[in-house]
Structure 1
Amino acid sequence: MPAALTISDLNKSYSGGFQALKNVSLEIDHGEIFALLGPNGAGKTTLISIVCGIVNASSGSVLVNGHDIVRDFRITRSLIGLVPQELSTDTFETVLATVTFSRGLFGLAPNPEHIEKVLRSLSLWDRRDSKILTLSGGMKRRVLIAKALAHEPRILFLDEPTAGVDVELRQDMWAIVRSLQESGVTVILTTHYIEEAEQMADRVGVINNGEVILVQEKQRLMQELGKRQLVLQLQDTLTAIPECLAEFHLELAESGSELIYTYDTQGERTGITALLAELSRAGIKFNDLNTSQSSLEEIFVDLVKKST
């Protein structure tokens, strides 16, 4: 069975010599949630626009369920739903009418039961007869998701889906995305909220300056590139770190009451065990300790800095 999405050596150049995408290759599996991270201008929206048929690529190929997006454009576009960044709806149309119309654009027969199911899942059913202009920004964004789901796509692109919405609505949308995944929909999202990717994504891709610099399973990425910190609350304050502990590159808090040990997630047990043994030999006692691991945001920032 072909992958849900296969992108091969994709390039996009504009007049004036600006290259928005550079040899991008990517494969996304059926039913996964894939987060594409990158700073402004990295090429995220350009990539999505090419896959969805809005922008033409300069070279390369894109397959959706094994179908070429240029040669089999009718099939591929029927398989894809897009929730864009910008709110682009007819403000004088009702919620029900605009979502129903979106289904008709794909030549599908009316299906009131499906439309009702979509609207209810997005808490829009009670507002189905409301005109778009009367809705809040968060409700309008829900309408965009409903429009993208009206034709029952198998791949859903969410381009900054929670930009400008409050925390409660953001969490509601996370729940909606998870329910879509459970129904077999492949979800690809771009986001500036790294917490969003950390909460939901199965895999993470990082793009910068038009190039994909990393694709990795989220948990493995955090294990391989993450850092951990061990903070020891000392019984007695220190004025300096003893020379016998130099190999651990410890930090001493200004108060002298805390020792901070930063280490890679790999080989952590050996490092901590050796440190604790050396502390004991040095006669340094502690009352408490706690550990923390670097977040996906910290890893992302570090990766982007290194690739710039």
Structure 2
Amino acid sequence: MTVIEIDGLSKSYRAGKAVDSVSLQVRRGEIFGIVGANGAGKTTVVECMSGLRRRDGGTLRVLGLDPQNDRRKLMQRIGVQLQEAALPDAIKVSEALRMYASFYDKPADWREIMDEWGLTDKKRAGFASLSGGWKQRLFIALALVGNPEVVFLDELTTGLDPSARRNTWGLIRDMRERGVTVVLVTHFMDEAEALCDRIAIIDQGLVIAEGSPRELITKGQSDSLEGAYFALTGREVE
């Protein structure tokens, strides 16, 4: 079943066109990767999907809803973790989860979410005291506290050390095991290759290739997704 349908999505800023006629479909229960270099238009696509930014053209449906016209309804059914996400330094883990739960009509039990994601021992810790890996674990818990059907994760592992990155990958796989559809935005090709069922490569606002990691590697005549990315775009991964 298709949960996200995009046809001809476009968005421009003063500096030019950020997204140019993007068309995609995301299936229920998969981890769908949107990959590309910094500035390729990935975040703009996700912000349009999640109702955080108005599109200029094209049609877009998430769970059958238009993110612009049905934003209130949609926000009750999705979770979002953006690249620049942050919380007040002094807010405690338990306070953040309780506050986010209050935003939803039918939230999960935030205490159960805290326990499931290994945060109970950190419940009294302030946000500023958490390591990068614990902050990302908290952001995932916050994205799930509303019982979402679809979760958008934008550059979730940027800035993490290799061990924390690997731990976060496990958390993302766990989300799929819960039946949540995950849209994962990344510029790490190893991450996309390890996690994603299907991938769209975006370059300069255009979708230039789409398929499973293996299909894209075959298309790029390479032995890795990073090599395929270079073959398909002519660009080094940043």
The TM tier, using the shorter chain, reads: over 0.9
Q: CA deviation at 1:153?
A: 0.8
Q: What is the CA deviation profile of residues 54-112 of structure 1, one whole-angstrom value per residue up to 9, with x for unaligned ones?
A: 11111112101112212222221222111111241121111011112112112346x5x
Counterpart in 2 of 1:243? none
Instruction: Give the superposition deviation at 1:226.
Output: 2.8
Match of residue 152, structure 2, among 130, 151, 157 = 157
Partner residue, 2:40: 42
CA RMSD of aligned residues (A): 1.6
Matched, 1:207 2:202: yes
* Residue 239 (structure 1) aligns with: none
User: Mapping of 1:93-108 within 5 angstroms?
Assistant: 93-108=91-106
Match of 1:222 in 2: 217
1:197 partner amino acid: A
> Structure 2 matches for 1:137-286, cutoff 5 A?
137-227=132-222
Structure 1 position 10 matched with structure 2 position 5: no
| TM-score, length-scaled by structure 1 | 0.72
Aligned to 1:30: 28
Post-superposition offset of 1:116: 2.7
| Distance of 1:208 and 1:19 partners within structure 2 | 12
More moved, 5-14 vs 118-127: 118-127
1:19 to 17, 20, 31: 17
Q: Which amino acid aligns with 1:19?
A: K
Counterpart for residue 297 of structure 1 = 226
Looking at structure 2, the residues matched to 73 and 84 of structure 1 have their Cα atoms a distance apart, in angstroms, of 17
**Residue 181 (structure 1) shift:** 0.8
Contact 1:121 1:176 in 2 (8 A): no
Match status 1:84 vs 2:79: no
Distance in 2 (alpha carbons) for counterparts of 1:186 and 1:106 = 19
SS of 1:68's equivalent in the other structure is coil
* Alpha-carbon separation, structure 1, partners of 2:119 and 2:140: 11
Give the number of aligned pairs.
235
> Is the 8 Å Cα contact of residues 219 and 228 (structure 2) preserved in structure 1?
no
Matched residue type, 2:148: P
* Percent sequence identity over aligned pairs: 34
What TM-score does the superposition give when structure 2 sets the normalisation length? Answer: 0.93
* Aligned AA (1:56): R
1 or 2 for the larger relative contact order (CA 8 Å, sep ≥6)?
2
Q: Distance in 1 between matches of 2:132 and 2:216?
A: 34
Deviations 1:113-154 (A, max 9, x none): x32332233321100111112212221222111111110111
1:56 is matched with 54
One-letter code aligned to 2:183: I
Counterparts of 1:122-137 in structure 2 under 5 Å?
122-137=117-132
Give 1:224 deviation, angstroms: 3.6
Structure 1 unaligned regions, length at least 5? 228-293
Give the Cα–Cα distance (whole angstroms) in 2 for the partners of residues 156 and 190 of structure 1.
Answer: 11
